[in-house]
Structure 1
Amino acid sequence: MNGRRYKRGRLLHQSESQQLVMMKMMTTKAVLLFLALVLAAVRADVNSAEVTGSWATQAVASDNPSKTGDGGPLRPFFRTIDCAGAGCQTITLSFYTKEAGRCVLHTVVGEKGSDGNYQSEYSGQNYYHFLVQKPGFIVFYNHNVDANGQDTHMTVALAQGGQLSDTQSASYADVTDANSISRGSIQQVASHEKQIPMSTSELTEEDMKELPDKD
């Protein structure tokens, strides 16, 4: 009798443990779903007036420095961002990259999906959204998947009218960390890289030497 009672008790204990595990899993899923909905709502709330305008890249961070380092295809030097439609449904990004010693201007158009992410084709597929939107300072997150299926997760800090303030730099480092990208990967953009005229589509290495030195 005692053995049977013990066995039943053990089975009951196991059943309760399984129920607890299932409840925890359901709770976790509910929390993740809630967070996903919150994030989607935040991503959907784009202030066109704060985003549209002339911008300069101040810093880049990623989990794939070879793509975002000097000369990398995912090191964008921004010039302008334009919004169209309610809540910036369509976004147009104007930026240049250095390719084989030349600076090439790109114009990329993105459409916002139901999850709040924009999608554009450039050096693969890109899925991105804004992390920070403030007057004169924005940060966005991008997930790039290249033609070989390689993933790059990155953040980019943009500013208007000068370098980032200490507060803005700290905010950028914090949101970069919060998105599972090490703040140790943050690369500051040299001042001469930000001073290339927007109308210039190509510059040789000799042209680059004539640009102002870094402050």
Structure 2
Amino acid sequence: MKPVFLTLILGLVCAAQEAPTELDPSQITGDWHHILTAADNKEKIEEGGPLTVYIRRLKCSDGCSELSVEFYAKSPEECTLINVVAEREGDIYHVGYVGSNIFEVIPVSENALVLYAENSDGEKTTKVTHLLAKGDSVTQEESQQYEELTEKRGIPPENIEDLTETDDCPK
């Protein structure tokens, strides 16, 4: 009886372990428009802030174990094209940019996804969300899901910035 009970307990423990979310490379890879961004430290994402970025392209490699992110970093004077490659561990990607970053990709629909990131600059960790769309806009439902996720991650809704108004970097 004890071996059966132990087997049952072991099975429940194993079942409780969450497997990494499988990302569909065809849903992630492609050209994207950066629609909204938010941060718990809003100064980091305001014009000229170190995390003022405009994501343009994502590319999954090796079943999304690597994710290439192409974006423009914007200073008041210019847009600089940057490409970083993040490594996946479980559901989380790791990449160095303006400090160290971890982020996760959260599909919202076939045409929209959210990146939730935590940037550590050595002094402070900043929580950031990004809403990306395959087109020039998102639906009301996609926007609402983004706002709920942003608030759930501890970022006030008033910190959401509409990047479609400030994005003058090359497409």
Q: TM-score with structure 2 length normalisation?
A: 0.84
Instruction: In structure 1, give the amino acid aligned to 2:96.
Output: E
Name structure 1 gaps, 5 residues minimum.
1-33, 199-215
* % same residue: 27
Distance 2:157 2:106 in 1: 15
CA change 1:100–1:188 in 2 (3 A) is: closer
> For 1:192 and 1:149, how far apart are their aligned partners in 2?
28
The answer to whether the 8 Å contact 2:34/2:163 transfers is: yes
Task: Please say if 1:158 is aligned against 2:132.
Answer: yes
Q: Which has the larger radius of gyration?
A: 1
CA distance in structure 1 between the aligned counterparts of 2:149 and 2:94, rounded to whole angstroms: 21
Letter of the 1:67 counterpart: K
The residue that corresponds to 2:86 in the other structure is 110
User: Is 2:60 aligned against 1:124?
Assistant: no
Distance apart, 1:191 and its partner CA: 4.2
Deviation readout 1:76-108 (Å, 9 max, x if unpaired): 20111000012x100000000112511101101
TM-score normalised by the chain length of structure 1: 0.68
Letter of the 2:48 counterpart? G
- Structure 2 residue 167 is the aligned partner of structure 1 residue 197: no
Note if 1:140 corresponds to 2:119.
Answer: no
Extract structure 1 runs of 4+ deviating beyond 3 A: none
More helix as a share of residues: 1
Q: Report if the CA contact (8 A) 2:72-2:169 is conserved.
A: no
Aligned residue for 1:206?
Answer: none
Answer 1 or 2: which has greater strand percent. 2
